[in-house]
Structure 1
Amino acid sequence: MGVFDMIVIVVVCSMAFAAFDSYNKHKNKAGNSKEMDELKAEHEKLKQRIATLESIVTDKSYQLKDQINRL
């Protein structure tokens, strides 16, 4: 695993933790459906961002560039 891979993993984990923490804080307060809908929308955005980061890191052209840079 390269340094960039580790950075991406840390960023993804911290974003996931922030979303989970935000969800738990607002879980008891989210009595109305508007707040719940906003949280669900934010959660979906975070899932899409994570999927994008995963696709970038697992892309073969990225891996090839990383190998070339190591040389």
Structure 2
Amino acid sequence: MGPFEIAAIAIVCGCAVSGYKTYMEGKAKHNNEDVSALQNEIAKLKNRVATLESIVTEPSYQLKEKINKL
């Protein structure tokens, strides 16, 4: 193996490592955005569940259910 072949292999490996690092950084950024979006959606759903729980536990709602069963 001559010096030119070693230099070519070093250049190709350097480009491959650089490309891999760029790919992983982009993938990590995309994953962080997905996690953030999912966390926002979970927060909204928790608020909706809390609202529904407050409606169902109201005495007037329970009274209506008892009346409807009669």
TM-score under structure 1 normalisation? 0.51
CA displacement, residues 28-66 of structure 1 (integer Å, 9 cap, x when unaligned) = xx8322211101100101111111111111111100111
Larger Rg: 2
Identity %: 52
The alignment status of 1:31 with 2:32, answered yes or no, reads no
Q: Counting helix residues as a fraction of each chain, which structure ranks higher?
A: 2
Q: For this pair of structures, how many residues does the alignment match?
A: 42
Q: How far, CA to CA, are the matches of 1:34 and 1:58 in structure 2?
A: 36
Structure 1, unpaired ranges of 5+ = 1-29
TM-score by length of 2: 0.51
For residues 1-71 of structure 1, the aligned pairs below 5 Å read 31-32=28-29, 33-71=32-70
Give distance in 2, aligned partners of 1:52 and 1:31. Answer: 35
Over the aligned positions, Cα root-mean-square deviation in angstroms equals 1.7
Runs (4+) off by over 6 Å: none
